[in-house]
Each structure stands twice: as structure tokens, then as C-alpha cells.
Structure 1
Amino acid sequence: MADLKPAEVDKAKLHFDIYDFEGSGKVDAFHLGDLLRSLDLVPTQEAVLKAGGVKKKGEKYLSLEEFLPIFSQLKKEKEKGAYEDFMEGLKVYDKMENGTMLEAELAHILQSLGEKLSDPECEEIFAALGFTPDEEGNIPYEPFIKKLMAGPFPEANADKK
């Protein structure tokens, strides 16, 4: 790839080989999002599907030659969801202007905007990040955002304890 540096191609090959579970020179497109995230990209599920990912294992396989242009393209895309963007968006819900918001409102946001989460997924996030609401049902949103963006969770964080 002309727009990827040799070191980036080498790193992509290394990660590609890790996700080539059968040693066939191909990666199941079901794992495309995981492969891209292992290379420090943060594509949405929609972007992964648009780039060639699939929802079922065994449906489609990608060779390294097919993967490198996908990696290159998604690497160029403007990063979405920066810390500052999340802070500005959640300040709207900070009615007391004290850095907190109702946990129920945050759960509603996570379940209804962007890539919508299910109720169990929201509960898992709150539990994994260790946030419990105060007596009024509020949680501090700045540390929540920092912990969430630090990822990965929940399995990786369980290993660090």
C-alpha cells in the first residue's frame, strides 16, 4: 500500500497473522472489527460492516491483500468520539452544574443514540467501570468517560485486578 508506511504494513501483517486462526492466509471477516481495533483504530460496528465485515462467522474471508486497503482507508478517517466531544455532550444533562448527571439519563443516552446498547450491555458497562449512583441517582460523568475511553473492558480489566 502506497499510503501505508512499511512499519505499518509489517504491524498489520503481524496482527493479520494472529487473527488467521487456521493458518490459511485468510481472516474471517467476522473478526475484522477486532483486527482493526488491535491496530489501534476505533471503527464503529457500522463502519466495520461497510468495510467488509460480516455478522456471522464463516460467511466471508479476507486475504492480507484485501485487508490492507481496508486498514488504510479506516486509518485515514477522522477520529470520532473524542473526550472533549463526550464532555460537551453530557454537560447538557448536568442540571446542577456540578459534574454529575442522572445514571438513568446516561443509560437512556447509551441505549438510544449512535450505536445503541441494550439494557444488559449498559448494566455491564456500569458494573465493569464500578460506578454506583449517589442517593439522588447521580454519577460523575467525567471519570465515567475517562474510564470508558481507557478500555478495554470488561474482560481485560478483570485480568488486571
Structure 2
Amino acid sequence: MAAEEQDQSDLEKRIIEAFEVFDHAGNKSIDVREVCTIVRSLGCCPTEAEIQEILVAVEDQETSGSVQLDKFLPVMKQIIQENRLQPASPEELLKAFLTLDPENKGYLTKDYLSKAMMEEGEPFTQEELDEMMAIAIDGETGNIPYEYYINQLMVRITDENVYELAKKIKPPETPNKPTISQLLSNL
């Protein structure tokens, strides 16, 4: 098997393995409510609106409320190969924290960050906020030293992420579309 075919197979295998964790009946079908968890377990960071778009693309129309692997796999593979839904880079995270810290103190208070995460943009749930704070808060000061927190988030996993696998796969060739001038010259 060529290296590219192996990479293609590895990416598909990762998506299938994530899907199968929630395929409790072993029938290559999951409950539609599990899609968000699977997508995030693959290292993707979708907004709620993006999750809804995925659901529209993958939900089984005949069996409402379920998603079949044969429909889910190509959609997720395409999303990953197009580098959509990638997590923010450390630089983007730092820029966001610096925006919240105009005095450049190097930290945010728990109350301030909690309020921002619950009220601004796409709000966190209380459970998501509690999970974040468990990692982010410095036990001695009670504040969030955000550069340290970003480093905690960026700990390198020894296994390649799905986006690294996708980079190794050559995108499918698309036929050359004629330019407008070529189309006009044929008239």
C-alpha cells in the first residue's frame, strides 16, 4: 500500500474508531445526539452552528434521530481534509487572552473570565466552564495565568492528530474549469 493510501486509511480508521465508541448496537448507526461528542473527540472545534450543519448533512432521513457510518465518514473526512474546524493556535489563544487583559497583568480573575465565558460569544455551559477552570486556575493565587493555561492546552499528544494525517493526503484532483475569457472566446 502506498504511503498516501495508508494515510487515507489511517484517517478513515480514526473517524470510524471514534464513531464505533458510540455505536452501542454494533449496526454502524449512532444516535444523532452523539455527533457533537464524536466530532470533538477527533480534535475538531466546531461552533454550535457548525454542528447543526454537520447534522443536516449526516442525519438519516429515513430513520430520524440516527446517523449511519457510511454517511458520517465522507462528511467528516472532507471537513478534516479541508482543514475546517481546527482548534485555535497558541498565538490566537494568546491574542484572545490579551484582549481580555488590557492592563497586561498576565492573568485574569476567575470571576472575570467566568462572566466572559458565560455571557460573550457562544456561551459555555456551567459544566464546560467548571472543566476549564479545573485546569486554568492557579491554586496559590486563584487567578488564571493565561500563558501557563495555554501551554497546558497545547501539550503535544504523541499520536498524530487528524489534521496532520489529512495533510499527508493529496487532495482529489478537480477538473480545470474554463476561465470566463475562454468561455467568451468559444461564442
Structure 1 length-normalised TM: 0.69
2:39 is the counterpart of 1:39: no
1:146 counterpart residue number? 151
- Separation in 2, partners of 1:16, 1:95: 43
1:155 counterpart residue number? none
Residues 119 and 11 of structure 1, relative CA distance in 2, 3 Å threshold = closer
1:74 counterpart residue number? 79
Moved more, 62-71 or 79-88: 79-88
Residues 116 and 41 of structure 1, relative CA distance in 2, 3 Å threshold = same
Shift of 1:116: 0.2
Structure having the higher Rg? 2
1:129 counterpart residue number? 135
Shift of 1:51: 0.5
Shift of 1:107: 1.4
Shift of 1:67: 0.4
Matched residue type, 2:137: F
Q: Does the CA-based 8 Å contact 1:43-1:74 persist in structure 2?
A: no
Q: Relative contact order, CA 8 A, sep 6+: which one is greater?
A: 2
2:101 counterpart residue number? 94
Shift of 1:130: 5.8
Residues 116 and 59 of structure 1, relative CA distance in 2, 3 Å threshold = farther
2:17 counterpart residue number? 14
Q: Does the CA-based 8 Å contact 2:45-2:85 persist in structure 1?
A: no
Deviation per residue, 1:8-57 (Å, 9 max, x gap): 22332233223211112211111112222333323233322220178xxx
Matched residue SS, 2:44 = coil
- Separation in 1, partners of 2:21, 2:151: 29
Residues 66 and 116 of structure 1, relative CA distance in 2, 3 Å threshold = same
User: What is the aligned length?
Assistant: 143
State the percentage of identical aligned residues: 23
Matched residue type, 1:67: F
